Structure formats: structure tokens, C-alpha cells
């Protein structure tokens, strides 16, 4: 997704990605200690769930094996999660 600026055959390292995100966040005037790569991942997953109500989609995107882990990770209510899980084919 993000090719390296140094070597066109390789992708960015995790460390390089963290540095770029920190620079972006700082540049737009936000506190880089609050916003980072992990919170962006979690927020994206939460937004996808809220929009689609599809735990299976979130599970595939995040690479989780257990639906219970996703429920905890994105912080959805257990009753809602169980309703959705029952409607989601795995």
C-alpha cells in the first residue's frame, strides 16, 4: 500500500509508517501522543462496523479469528454483537 521512498521494491516499515503518521498529525495541529497508527486502525474498524453492522467484514479486515475478540477491540455492546453474530455466517 505504501511503497518505500528509499527502495522502490520494498514497502514502508512499521517504524516509517509511524513516523509519517506522527508528522501528519502534528502538521494539522493535533497532539501526536493521542493520535497514532493503532487508534486509526481501531477507529476504521469501528466505523466499518457501525456503517455495515457486519462483524465478519471487520473480522476479515483485522485478521481476527474470534468474534469475541473483535467485540472487545471495537467496543460494541454485547447484546448488539450477539444479534449481529447470529445473523452473520462464518
Same domain, 27 and 47: no
63 and 79, same domain (yes or no): yes
User: How far is the C-alpha of 39 from the C-alpha of 35, rounded, in Å?
Assistant: 6
Report the alpha-carbon distance of residue 3 to residue 88 in Å, rounded: 35
Q: What is the pTM of this model?
A: 0.57
- Rounded to the nearest angstrom, the gap between the alpha carbon of residue 29 and the centroid of all alpha carbons in its chain is 22
If one counts the domains in the chain, the total is 2
Domain that holds residue 15: 1-35
30 plus 71 within the same structural domain: no
Assess whether 49 and 90 both reside in one domain: yes
Instruction: Report pLDDT digits (tens) over 27-77.
Output: 999 988 888 888 878 888 888 888 988 888 888 888 888 888 888 888 877
Q: Are residues 42 and 80 in the same domain?
A: yes
Amino acid at each position: 500500500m505504501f511503497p518505500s521512498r528509499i527502495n522502490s521494491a520494498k514497502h514502508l516499515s512499521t517504524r516509517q509508517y509511524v513516523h509519517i503518521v506522527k508528522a501528519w498529525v502534528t502538521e494539522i495541529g493535533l497532539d501526536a501522543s493521542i493520535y497514532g497508527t493503532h487508534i486509526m486502525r481501531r477507529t476504521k474498524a469501528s466505523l466499518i462496523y457501525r456503517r455495515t453492522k457486519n462483524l465478519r467484514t471487520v473480522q476479515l479486515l483485522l485478521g481476527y479469528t474470534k468474534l469475541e475478540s473483535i467485540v472487545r477491540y471495537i467496543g460494541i455492546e454485547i447484546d448488539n454483537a450477539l444479534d449481529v453474530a447470529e445473523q452473520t455466517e462464518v
